[in-house]
Amino acid sequence: CSSVPVINGNAPTQSSSVTQTAFELVGRLGVRYEKGGQHGNVSWRHQPDMDEVEMRSPLGSIVAKLRVDTQGAMIDFGEGRIEHAPDVETLTKTLLGWELPLTGLRYWVFAQPAPTSPAQTEKDPQGRVTQLEQAGWVIEYANYPDNQSLPGKIIMRRTPLEIRLVVDTWSVQHVDSTQTRF
């Protein structure tokens, strides 16, 4: 059986919205797209107004760093090679050949629909989401650890793209906006 994630912190419930959550997720990403396949180890740090995603080879070497904030998206391949785009979806589509739907993924990783468009969900007897459909994506959830509601495996499909994410470790903090001091 495939691994279930180590979790410290817990999932934002429907009421405490995802945008009030900071998390770091470390896992693996497998992508199938028109031109072939990509596989990488990934670590993703999310803050309410900023995301940083590091893509690594099996050797742990960083292949690319993605950063998204209110000003737009940027990818850094190292040695000064940096590209920009208005959003991460356009950036990854043009530079990696496949679109990383990070805007939606902020919610989907918690098995919650994004508040941007209608969505359907299917749940298992324990009330955990097994499938979610939104914005043309069909998202399947698996490997929930028995006592936690954060999925360990997420498969997202929107033809011709399929993205598989296995989460090895989660760390989730609730960020109460009054507490964050800059």
Note the residues at the interface with other proteins (CB under 8 A).
2-3, 24, 26, 28-30, 32, 35-39, 41, 43, 54, 57-63, 65, 76-79, 153, 162, 164, 166, 168-169, 171
And the tokens for 90? 């356009």
In the complex, the smallest distance separating the C-beta of residue 58 from other proteins, rounded to whole angstroms, is 6
Measured CA to CA, the distance from residue 36 to residue 144 in angstroms comes to 29
**In the chain, what are the helix, strand and coil shares in percent, each to the nearest 5?**
10, 50, 40
By beta-carbon proximity to other proteins, the closer residue of 4 and 114 is: 4
How many C-beta neighbours within 10 Å does residue 136 have? 10
CB 69 within 8 A of CB 49: yes
In the complex, the smallest distance separating the C-beta of residue 53 from other proteins, rounded to whole angstroms, is 12
By beta-carbon proximity to other proteins, the closer residue of 74 and 135 is: 74
Measured CA to CA, the distance from residue 26 to residue 11 in angstroms comes to 15
By beta-carbon proximity to other proteins, the closer residue of 45 and 174 is: 45
And the tokens for 105? 């993924």
In the complex, the smallest distance separating the C-beta of residue 14 from other proteins, rounded to whole angstroms, is 28
By beta-carbon proximity to other proteins, the closer residue of 81 and 181 is: 81
